[in-house]
Amino acid sequence: MVDEPAAPESGTRARTRRAILDAGVRVLSQQSGASLAEVAAAAGVGRTTMHRYFPERADLLTGITNDLLEQIAAATQRARPEQGPAVAALERLCQAYFALGDGLLLTLNEPHLFTDPAWNEEGEPERALLQLVERGHAEGTIDPGLSPAWVQDVLWSLLYAAWMHARDSDVPEHDALALCLRTLRKAVAP
Amino acid sequence: MVDEPAAPESGTRARTRRAILDAGVRVLSQQSGASLAEVAAAAGVGRTTMHRYFPERADLLTGITNDLLEQIAAATQRARPEQGPAVAALERLCQAYFALGDGLLLTLNEPHLFTDPAWNEEGEPERALLQLVERGHAEGTIDPGLSPAWVQDVLWSLLYAAWMHARDSDVPEHDALALCLRTLRKAVAP
DNA sequence: CGGTAGTGGAGCATCAGTGTTCCGTTTTTG
DNA sequence: CAAAAACGGAACACTGATGCTCCACTACCG
């Protein structure tokens, strides 16, 4: 993870890069087979320009992968999963991840898109969540019948459901998140 | 839905057709962009043969769509969603849908693949489920804070999670279903 | 004002997937 | 067994996405 050893990356470039990455997530989360031209258009950028930032399709995917991993790591850290009661921490995590938006869909929907080795490595976020659940088991505040791995899957799938619910059933995002939290809280209760 | 007006379809053809449809679901549920050659190979069938059954890609998708719709309808009917206590009926539905296997993934993951008009029509299964939840509200056995549409989304996303859990974490399918049911039951409880 | 970074359009070769045809082989069936 | 049905390989044209290059335009900065 050694980044920019001396790559200040002029503000303009950084902005363009962001626009492309965001457009990539937005477009690919809906059509994983979308053409690069579509992504470029969605980013409001010429196909040539995109090619300058990400020479091949694989490079774009790598870029998105790293970006998502960073965002997930940042969200995890922000939620302080090791502090306070387990259930409260779990809800904080849920809220933090919800902010990933379309990244959620991409993460869950198209895991096979990410061929990067970095993707499937057990990351710090994973570990934090699993430990969190074990803490809940010890506290007696999380149903011991639900394995940590299963709780993890439930968390992500509920996030997915909530995001889609907001997107398709045009429920305000805030309400969708509230439903998600309420459902999660009850689901993990002993 | 007027089918075979006089198309007995020799047992051989029916079997080949099934093999192709099943392979299509299996392959496309993992790689929505998979080539037709891959589907044919997975079905143990020549590309030429597949072309005889489904002249274009769109025809295969239509075939899969109709097949899934039938399977969902059959599963719904089998679960008798209108009988007995709402929660019990919901669990029966959950079990019945779980049997769809990879079809679940395809249904949730790649809704955009199905361009058929028949797909997005509000089907009988949808209506049955929504009514079921309303019945639960009336009975006082389903959390009134959870809208029918949300419960529907939760049901499908938990099914998705359970199927993936069985597939990737090599948990026996039966155990995954049990986790799913347990989680769903608690999630919808008032 | 001149230089430079950033951009985007046009064009081109390549390649994989597709749709389709033809024909020989295997399997089913009467 | 012999006819009919079903199958699969080979080959071909076509299409769209991709990777790439070259050049012209714009905006910003010293």
CB atoms within 10 A of CB B93: 23
Residues B89, B166 within the same domain:
yes
Of B33, B157, B183, the CB nearest to A160: B157
Asked, for residue A2, whether it belongs to a domain, the answer is: no
**Burial status of residue B44 (CB atoms within 10 A of its CB: 0-12, 13-18, 19 or more):** exposed
Question: Is residue B182 in some structural domain?
Answer: yes
A115: closest CA among A153, A151, A64, A76?
A64
- Please report where in the chains the tokens 């199927």 appear, as a residue: B163
pLDDT at A6: 42
Q: Which of residues 21-80 of A touch strand C (CB under 7 A)?
A: 44-49, 52
| CATH number assigned to the domain comprising residue A15 | 1.10.10
Domain assignment of residue A114, yes or no: yes
For residues B49 and B105, state if they share a domain.
no
Residue A100 shares a structural domain with residue A129? yes
Kindly tell me if the per-residue pLDDT of B67 is higher than 50.
yes
Residues of A with CB under 8 A from a CB of B: 30-33, 109, 112, 143, 145-147, 149-150, 153-154, 156-158, 160-162, 164-165, 169, 179, 182-183, 186-187, 189
Task: Please tell me the pTM assigned to this model.
Answer: 0.92
pLDDT given for residue A109 in this prediction: 87
A19 and A50 inside one domain: yes
User: Domain tally for chain A?
Assistant: 2
Do residues B147 and B173 make contact, with C-beta atoms less than 8 angstroms apart?
no
Please indicate, yes or no, whether residues B118 and B166 belong to a single structural domain of this protein. yes
| Residue B30 domain flag | yes
Q: Which bases of strand D sit closer than 7 A to a protein CB?
A: 5-11, 16-22
Mean pLDDT of chain A: 93
So what's the pLDDT on residue A114? Answer: 85
> Which residues are in reach of strand D, CB within 7 A?
A 35-37, 47-48, 51, 55-58; B 10, 12-13, 16, 44-49, 52-53
Residue A1, in any domain of the structure: no
Is the domain of A134 the same as that of A177? yes
Q: What is the pLDDT of residues B26-43, one digit of tens each?
A: 999 999 999 999 999 999
pLDDT at position A189, please?
97
What is the distance between the terminal CA atoms of chain B, rounded to a whole angstrom? 40
| B76 within some domain | yes
Q: Assess whether A127 and A97 both reside in one domain.
A: yes
User: For residues B190 and B141, is the Cβ–Cβ distance under 8 A?
Assistant: yes
Query: Is the domain of A178 the same as that of A143?
Result: yes
Which amino acid, B188? V
Q: Which residues of A touch B158 (CB under 8 A)?
A: 154, 157-158
**In a shared domain, residues A134 and A45:** no
CATH of the domain at A110: 1.10.357.10
Q: Count Cβ–Cβ pairs < 8 Å, chain A vs chain B.
A: 71
Write out pLDDT tens, residues A110-169: 888 888 888 888 889 999 999 999 999 999 999 999 999 999 999 999 999 999 999 999
What are the pLDDT digits (tens) for A4-15? Answer: 344 557 789 999
Residue B64 CA and nucleotide C8 C1' are separated, in Å, by 42
Cβ contacts of A132-136, under 8 Å, gap ≥ 24: A132/A81, A132/A82, A132/A86, A132/A89, A132/A90, A132/A93, A133/A86, A133/A90, A135/A86, A136/A86, A136/A87, A136/A90, A136/A188
Question: H-helix or E-strand containing B33?
Answer: none
User: Mind listing the pLDDT tens digit for each residue in B162-183?
Assistant: 999 999 998 999 999 999 999 9
Range of the domain at B121: 64-188
